[in-house]
Chain A
Amino acid sequence: MTLRGTVALALVLGVLVTYLALSAPTTQTPAVPVAAGPALLAVPATDVTHLELTDASGRLSLVRSPNGWHDAADRTLPSGVVTDLLDALTTLRPITMVDDAPSDIADYGLGADATRLHLVGSTDRPLLDLEIGARNPAWTGLYARRDGAPGVFLVGALLQWEIDKLRNTARAQSSP
C-alpha cells in the first residue's frame, strides 16, 4: 500500500473514532430501578398494635395482645399472616409517583371502592393510612395513596398477596 493510501485510511479511521466518541451516550445505562424513598411503614413492625383493613368484603379489625393478634370476635389469628403483611410494609417503598394531582382517582381504583389499611401504634399513634387501588396493567404493582396525600404512587404487588393472605385467613377463621 502506498503512503498516500495509508494516510487516507488513517484519516477514515480518525473520522470514525471521532464519530463514535461524539455519538456515544454520555451517561451509562441506568441500573434496574430500585424503589427509593422511605418504606411505607417507617417504624418496626413490632410497634404496630392495631390494624384495620376495609374493603368491599368488609372490615377486619385486629388488635395485638401478648398472645398474638385477635379480631373483633376475640379469635386469634395465626400471627404469621399479620406479621408478613407488616414486614412487607416495612420493606415496600413507592416505586414511582404515577400522578401528583389526579383528576379522577377512579382511574386508579381509588376512592370509595378502594381498600383501606390503617395502622396504629401504642398510645393510639397513627402509623400509616394507606388507600390501595387497582393493579397496574402489567399487574406488577398497585396504585396507592398514603396519609391523605393526593399523589398516586405505585407499590409492589406483594402488598396484594399479603393482604389476600390475611383476608383469606381471617375468613377461614370466622367460617364455622
Chain B
Amino acid sequence: MTKTARFPIVAILAALVLSVASAAVAEDKPMILDANNWQEGKDLLPDPVLKRLQAGEYWFKVVPVDPAAFKKNYAQKFWDATAANEGKYDLDPATCGLKDKATGKIPEFLIGFPFPNIDKNDPNVACKIAQNFAFAGYMGGGGGATFTLNGIDTNGQFRRVKAFIHAMGYQGRIDGKIEDNPENLTLQAIGAAIEPQDVEGVSTLTKRYWDWESQDAIWAFVPSTRRARRVNAATRSDPVAGMDIFSDDLNCYAGKIEYYKWKLVGEGKILAPVLRPEPFPMKQVSETRYSVDTPYMEAGYEKPGSKGAPWWIQDNLVFVPRPVWIVEGESSDPYYNFGKVIMYFDKDLYRIYWKLVHNRAGEYFYTAACGYHFVKDGETYSSVYPNLVIGVNDKTNRAALGGRYQSSFVERKWDPGYFSLRTLTRLTD
C-alpha cells in the first residue's frame, strides 16, 4: 500500500479512536476501554488488571446499566423474602455462621438475603456481606452444565478438559424448602471430567452440611483405581488438572462462609463481567427441568487476528460498572493454599466479580474474573449462574478459562439419590 493510500485509513482510525475516547467520558453510554483510554479504568479495575489494560492485553466493552433495572435480574419473590428477613438474623460470632435471633440457633430455612441492610460500621459487616453472597447463589435451587476448562499460555491453548457439574440446593432455594433433608445439607453436587479420555470419569461428590462447624464432605473417584476416596475440603485451593484455575473460583468463592475470616476493607466501583445485563429466559423441557441457552464466549486464542492476550474474551461478554464492597478473606485451614484473598462483592446483587489471591508467603500471584448470567421466569423464579472464570496466574503469565457453556439447565426437583457414591463410581460404566 502506498503512503497516500494509507493516510486516509490512518485518519479514519484516528477519528475512530477519538470518537471512542470521547464516548468514554460519558458515563451513561457504552464504551470501549482499552490501551488508548486506560486511565478511565483506574478506579474500575484491580491493579494487576489495569496493568494489562494499559499494556493492550485486555480491553473492555463497558455497558452502563440502570441500577434499579439491574436489581430486577432477581425476581420480586426474592426481594420480598429479603425484605421480610429484616431483623430476623444475626451471626454466630465465633464462626460467622448464620443465627436465627428467635432461637439462637442456625435457622431452619430461608430465602433471600438474610441481611437486607448492610451497615459498614457494623463490626460483623463482612460476614453479613459473605452470607448475603451465599444466599444469592442458593437462589436457583439446582441445575447443571457441561463446560470446558482451557489452559492457555502466551502461545495459545496447551490443555483442554471438558467436564460437567450437577448441583442440588436445599438452603435458600426460591422454590421453597425441601422437607426431606435427612443429611441436613445446604447443597450437594457432582462434577466429572468427560474429555480427554485419560481423565474421563475422574469425578467428585460434594456435600455441604447446614451447620456452623463441619467441613464439606468431598469424595474423589478415579476410574483407574475404582476407588472413591474422601479428600480434604482445602483441595478447593489446589489447581484443577494442572491449570491456573481452582475449584474455589466457582462464583469466585466456593467454600463454606464459615471457613474464612472476612474483613471489609473498602468500597468502590468495579467493572463486572456478565454475558449480558438482562436475564436469559428459560425453556421448559420436562416437568421439572428447564434449559437455558447462552452464547459462547470466544477467546483470543480461538480467533485469528484477535485483540489482546490469547485468553482474553473477544465476544459476548460485557462489563457493567457496579458499586462493590471490597472484602478480604483468609482461611484458617492450614492445608488451604491461599493466603489473603481480596474480593469485590456487588453491593446489590452480592456476586463476587474479581478476586486477587496471595499465597501463604504473601506473594500476590493470581487474579480471577468471575462472569455471570441471570435467568428469570416472571417474578417468582430467578437464578444467577457462574458462566465464566478467567483465572490469570501473573507469576507464570499463564491463564485458564473455565465455564463458557452454551447450554445449561435448571432442575427444580432433583432425585436426591443421584448425589451418591453409587453414582460417582458408575459414571464411566
B363 x A95 contact (CB < 8 A): yes
Pick the most buried of B263, B362, B363, B364: most chain A CB atoms within 10 A of its CB.
B362
A91-B394 contact given A80-B263, A158-B340, A165-B265, CB 8 Å threshold: no
How far apart sit A165 and B342, CA to CA, in the bound complex (Å)? 12
Pick from A81, A88, A140, A156: contact of B394, CB under 8 Å: A140
How far apart sit A99 and B395, CA to CA, in the bound complex (Å)? 20
How far apart sit A91 and B361, CA to CA, in the bound complex (Å)? 8
A157 x B395 contact (CB < 8 A): no
With an 8 Å Cβ cutoff, the count of chain B residues facing the other chain is 20
B263 x A158 contact (CB < 8 A): no
* A81: chain B residues within 8 A (beta carbon): 265
Question: How would residues 359 to 372 of chain B score, 1 for a CB under 8 Å from any chain A CB and 0 otherwise?
Answer: 11111110000000
A93 within 8 A of B: yes
A93-B361 contact given A139-B51, A140-B395, CB 8 Å threshold: yes
Q: Nearest CB to that of A156 among chain B residues?
A: B362
* B339: chain A residues within 8 A (beta carbon): 158
Q: How many A-B residue contacts, CB cutoff 8 Å?
A: 56
B362 x A88 contact (CB < 8 A): yes
Pick the most buried of A80, A91, A156: most chain B CB atoms within 10 A of its CB.
A156
A34 x B263 contact (CB < 8 A): no
Q: Nearest CB to that of A140 among chain B residues?
A: B363
Q: Nearest CB to that of B328 among chain A residues?
A: A84
| Chain A binding surface SS class | mixed
How far apart sit A17 and B339, CA to CA, in the bound complex (Å)? 43
A161 x B340 contact (CB < 8 A): yes
* B361: chain A residues within 8 A (beta carbon): 33-35, 92-93, 95, 156
A120 within 8 A of B: no
With an 8 Å Cβ cutoff, the count of chain A residues facing the other chain is 24
B177 within 8 A of A: no
A77 within 8 A of B: no
Distance from B265 Cβ to chain A, minimum over Cβ atoms (Å) = 6
How far apart sit A138 and B51, CA to CA, in the bound complex (Å)? 10
How far apart sit A165 and B47, CA to CA, in the bound complex (Å)? 14
Residues of chain A in range 67-109 having any CB-CB distance to chain B below 8 Å: 80-81, 84, 88, 91-93, 95
A159 within 8 A of B: yes
B196 within 8 A of A: no
Residues of chain A in range 135-176 having any CB-CB distance to chain B below 8 Å: 138-141, 155-159, 161, 165, 168
Question: How would residues 100 to 125 of chain A score, 1 for a CB under 8 Å from any chain B CB and 0 otherwise?
Answer: 00000000000000000000000000
A157-B364 contact given A80-B263, A138-B397, A139-B48, CB 8 Å threshold: yes
Chain A residues at the B interface, C-beta cutoff of 8 Å: 32-35, 80-81, 84, 88, 91-93, 95, 138-141, 155-159, 161, 165, 168
Chain B residues at the A interface, C-beta cutoff of 8 Å: 47-48, 51, 263, 265-266, 339-340, 342, 358-365, 394-395, 397
